[in-house]
Amino acid sequence: MLTRSYAPQHGFVLLESMLAILVFSLGILALIGFQAGAVRLSGANMQRSQAVLVSNQIEAGLWGLAPTAIADCAGTYTAKSTTKCNINWQSALQSLPAAKAVVTINQQQVSIDLTWQMPGQKDASNHRHVTQISRN
């Protein structure tokens, strides 16, 4: 009868389990990285949606003015600035951090450029809203 001698395999199961734990840990770290990126983008999208609401609020205020008073609303506004217009710029701009609105009026075309600076962000974000305000 032939007997075979096998070489001892001491520690092979330990090595396999350590490798499996390493692969699993790298997968978990990748998922955490994806989650952090998703949270960051969600915050940026919320601010952009807020900018759209602010520009719509400014436009609605312009629609409520007399046609002769709209031209007086052109200018640069912050949450602390006052205006000749009868529009509440302050409450609208307070919803965005370090927000500034530049309103340009060219006959019936109104352009509203919003910029804001997120805390911890090096570049400012912006939103442009262009509309025609005309009455028959």
Q: Is the pLDDT of residue 7 over 80?
A: no
The pLDDT tens digits for 34-75 are 999 898 888 888 889 999 998 998 888 888 888 888 888 888
- Secondary structure E strands in the chain: 75-78, 100-106, 109-116, 125-132
Of 75 and 88, the one with more pLDDT: 75
The model's confidence at residue 9, banded by pLDDT at 50, 70 and 90, is low
The model's confidence at residue 13, banded by pLDDT at 50, 70 and 90, is confident
Cα dist from 57 to 5, 19, 128, whole Å: 85, 58, 14
pLDDT of residue 127: 92
pLDDT of residue 102: 92
Lowest mean pLDDT of 14-23, 79-88, 102-111, name the range. 79-88
